[in-house]
Amino acid sequence: MSVKVIFGAVIGLMLMWMIPAVYAEQEFQISYTCAGCHQERYDEWSRSTHALAVNDPIFEAAYLRALESDPKYRSYCLTCHSPTTSITNDLNLTKSISVEGVTCSFCHTVTGVENNSYNFSQSNPMQGPYTDSMTGAHASAYSGLHTKSEFCAGCHDFSINGIPISQTYTEWKEGPYAAEGKQCQDCHMETKIGAAAKNGTIREKVYQHFWYGGHTGQFLENAVQINSSTQKTGNRVKVTLNITNNNVGHMIPSGLPSRKVVLDFNASDKQGREIYSGQKVYAKTIVDQYNNEVSDFWKAVSIAKDNRFKPGESRIEMFEFDAPNGTDEINIQASLNYQLEAEIITTETESVNVELARISNKIMLNETAAVQATPKGSPGIGWIGSLISIITAILVSRRRKSQR
C-alpha cells in the first residue's frame, strides 16, 4: 500500500471525525440537556406557554390560516414562535429544537435587541443575570439585558402592515411601572430564594420560568378593582362603578386583539327576576379593507377602536334604570371577565373566560343607603381552563418522551 493511500485514508478519517463535531457546534442544544443541572428551571419552562409556542392549538390554527393568506407569514410567525429557525432556517420544523418554541438555548444566547429583532447565536456563551456564574458545562456570561423589559420587546411589541398589533412593551414603557423601574420580569418571572443550578450558590433572587400572564387565572385575580356607589330618586336607580387597573403595568387586556375584557351588569328583584342588564366590552378592535372586524391580525388595515384600560387608569361606568312599582329590594351584580376566543385546529372556537372582579350589592328602595359591596372570591377558570391545563400536560409529556 502506497504512502499516498495511507495518507489519504488518515485524512479521510480525520474529516469524518471533525465534520460531525463542527456540525454539532452549529446546533442549538435542546432544552432537555439543561435539565441535568437546571431541573427546576426546566420543569418550570416545560409547563409554560413559551415551551408550547409551536404546539399550542390556538397558534397552530392561526398559523395555518396565515399561511393560506400568504406563505411569507411562515418566517414572520416563526421568528417569535420558533426563534431558532431564524438561524437554522428550519422553517418546516423538522428539528427537535424547532418545535420547542421559545427554548432555553434561544433566550440564553441573546446578546441584544435592536429594532424588535434579537441578536443571538448558538456559539455565544450562555447569558444570564449573575456575574459569578461558573460551570464546566458551558461558557457563561453576565447579561443585564435578561433582567430588563427591553429583552421582551422583540416579540411582545410588533406591527404588521404598519398597524400596531401588540404593543405590550410600549404600553409598559409609556406607563408608571417603567418610570418606577419595575420590569416585566418582576411580575412575570417571580423570584425566590434558592439555587439557579444543582449544587449552585444560594441566591436571594432566582427567576422562575413560568411566565404567568393572561392565561393564568390566579395571576389575574388582583389585576382590577371595582368599587360601586348607588343613588336613588324615587324608583329611579343609578349605579356608578369605578373600575381601576391597579396592579398591571400594561393595558388590560394586552397582547393580540382577540383578547377582551367584558363588564356584565345585572339588576334583579328579590325573586331573581331581571329588571335591567347591560354590558360593556373593552378591547382593541382591528378591521380589514372592507371595514369588517377581524381577529386574524395580518388582515388588519386600521384600528377602529381601542378602549382598553391603561396602567393605573380608573374609569367610571354608570347604569341607570327604573325599578318596577312595588319593588322594595334590588340585587345588583357586576362582574369583569377576561375573555379569549380563538379557533383551534378542528375549526371549532375555543374560549377562555376568567373573572377579574365582581361586586354584589343589595339596594333597599325604602332606605336611604345601599349595602356595601361584598368582596369577590378568587376567580375560577372553569371547565375550559381545565381543558387547557390538560392539553398543556399532554403536550409537555409528549415532549419529554420525544427528548428521551
Q: Report the alpha-carbon distance of residue 78 to residue 319 in Å, rounded.
A: 45
- The grid coordinates of residue 196 equal 439557579
Predicted pLDDT of residue 53:
97
Amino acid of residue 131? T
Amino acid of residue 55? N
pLDDT in tens, 90-133: 999 999 999 999 999 999 999 999 988 999 999 999 999 999 99
Among 397, 400, 347, 384, which Cα is nearest to 215's?
Answer: 384
CATH class of 219-380: mainly beta
The structural domains of the chain, with segments of one domain joined by +, span 11-215+390-403, 219-380
pLDDT in tens, 139-180: 999 999 999 999 999 999 999 989 999 999 999 999 999 999
> Residue 168: how many CA atoms within 13 Å on its side-chain side?
21
Largest CA distance in the chain: 114
Asked whether the beta carbons of 261 and 282 are under 8 A apart, the reply is yes
First-to-last alpha carbon distance for the chain, in angstroms, is 45
Residue 285, strand partner residues: 305
Among 144, 209, 148, which Cα is nearest to 173's?
Answer: 148
Asked whether the beta carbons of 213 and 194 are under 8 A apart, the reply is no
Report DSSP state, residue 206: E
Q: Report the alpha-carbon distance of residue 143 to residue 151 in Å, rounded.
A: 10
Give the SS3 label for residue 251: coil
Among 48, 20, 46, which Cα is nearest to 32's?
Answer: 46
The one-digit pLDDT tens for each residue of the chain (404 residues) are 554 444 444 444 343 344 333 333 458 999 999 999 999 999 999 999 999 999 999 999 999 999 999 999 999 999 999 999 999 999 999 999 999 999 999 999 999 999 889 999 999 999 999 999 999 999 999 999 999 999 999 999 999 989 999 999 999 999 999 999 999 999 999 999 999 999 999 999 999 999 998 877 777 888 999 999 999 998 999 999 999 999 999 999 999 999 999 999 999 999 999 999 999 999 999 999 999 999 999 999 999 999 999 999 999 999 999 999 988 899 999 999 999 887 776 555 556 677 878 878 777 776 543 333 333 443 444 434 444 444 454 454 555 445 54
Q: What is the pTM of this model?
A: 0.82
Quick one: how many helices (H) and strands (E) in the chain?
11, 17
Asked whether the beta carbons of 118 and 112 are under 8 A apart, the reply is yes
pLDDT in tens, 357-390: 887 877 777 654 333 333 344 344 443 444 444 4
Q: Report the alpha-carbon distance of residue 292 to residue 373 in Å, rounded.
A: 39
Q: Report the alpha-carbon distance of residue 110 to residue 119 in Å, rounded.
A: 6
Asked whether the beta carbons of 103 and 89 are under 8 A apart, the reply is no
